[in-house]
């Protein structure tokens, strides 16, 4: 696959992620949706999909099966990024659908035990963070983030899933500091954490 075709696939992939995110929010109260079908967030998501596709294409070095694998595993993460940015929600239909897809890929690659261990550890660790964090700072960390952590652990397995989550936490911390420094957010304002976790997972997926 040449660069031109990879760019075209990346544009379509980004558009698919945007559409999937929008469909996943179907039935949501209108007041939770913060923009129309075409929005700066949608464009940003499309560019993220393009960048991920080009990175996966470069890494695959002509191996179309590897490229397809990484695009499949990355699609739920891309859509979740869109829903969390758009409505600060991570729909169950995305995490559960992604989990089914991740389990199928893990089974096909004979690494289902590693995937299950990664999911269990991620759910356990982020479950503890969720309980403690919401006692200290109610609303700062959602149950959707816990489910997303489980999905990432399942897709990447052990120990890569935990590395991805650690990277996501570090990216999230840096992003929060930047937003606070730019006064784009106040200290008590909620910051969607899903996109940062997805970014950590995407980087790990492409480098693992």
Task: Please list, in sequence order, all residues whose beta carbon lies within 8 angstroms of the beta carbon of residue 34, skipping any fewer than 6 positions away.
Answer: 41, 86, 87
Domain count within the chain: 1
pLDDT band at 178 (very low <50, low <70, confident <90, very high): confident
What pLDDT, on a 0 to 100 scale, did the predictor assign at position 30? 47
- Mean pLDDT on 2-14: 94
- Distance (Å) of CA 178 to CA 5, 42, 168, 190: 35, 22, 15, 14
**Nearest-angstrom CA–CA distance, 111 and 159:** 12
The SS3 assignment for 115 reads helix
Instruction: Tokens for 120, please give them.
Output: 């269990």
**Nearest-angstrom CA–CA distance, 24 and 20:** 6
List the domain range (segments joined by +) for residue 50: 3-207
What pLDDT, on a 0 to 100 scale, did the predictor assign at position 188? 64
Quickly list DSSP for 65-111. HHHHHHHHHHHHHHHHHHHHHHHS---HHHHHHHHHHHHHHHHHTT-
Task: Encode pLDDT of 142-175 as tens digits.
Answer: 889 999 999 999 999 999 999 999 999 999 888 8
Percent of the chain at pLDDT exceeding 70: 89
pLDDT band at 190 (very low <50, low <70, confident <90, very high): low
What pLDDT, on a 0 to 100 scale, did the predictor assign at position 142? 84
Is residue 19 scored above 80 in pLDDT?
A: yes
Instruction: Tokens for 98, please give them.
Output: 């992604």
The SS3 assignment for 1 reads coil
What pLDDT, on a 0 to 100 scale, did the predictor assign at position 25? 87
Of 192 and 107, the one with more pLDDT: 107
Model pTM score? 0.90
Task: Encode pLDDT of 22-76 as tens digits.
Answer: 899 877 644 455 555 567 778 889 999 999 999 999 999 989 999 999 999 999 9
What pLDDT, on a 0 to 100 scale, did the predictor assign at position 150? 97
């Amino acid at each position: 696959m040449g660069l031109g075709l990879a760019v075209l696939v990346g544009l379509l992939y980004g558009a698919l992620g945007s559409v999937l995110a929008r469909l996943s929010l179907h039935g949501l109260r209108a007041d939770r949706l913060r923009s129309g079908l075409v929005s700066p967030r949608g464009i940003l998501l499309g560019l993220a999909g393009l960048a991920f596709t080009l990175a996966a294409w470069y890494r695959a070095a002509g191996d179309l099966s590897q490229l397809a694998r990484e695009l499949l595993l990355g699609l739920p993460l891309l859509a979740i990024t869109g829903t969390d940015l758009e409505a600060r929600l991570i729909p169950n239909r995305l995490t559960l659908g992604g989990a089914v897809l991740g389990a199928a890929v893990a089974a096909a690659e004979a690494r289902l035990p590693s995937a299950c261990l990664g999911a269990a550890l991620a759910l356990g660790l982020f479950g503890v963070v969720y309980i403690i964090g919401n006692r200290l700072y109610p609303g700062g960390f959602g149950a959707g983030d816990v489910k997303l952590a489980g999905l990432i652990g399942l897709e990447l397995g052990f120990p890569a899933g935990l590395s991805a989550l650690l990277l996501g936490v570090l990216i999230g911390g840096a992003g929060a500091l930047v937003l606070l420094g730019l006064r784009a957010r106040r200290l008590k304002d909620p910051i969607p954490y899903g996109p940062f976790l997805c970014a950590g997972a995407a980087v790990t997926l492409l480098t693992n």
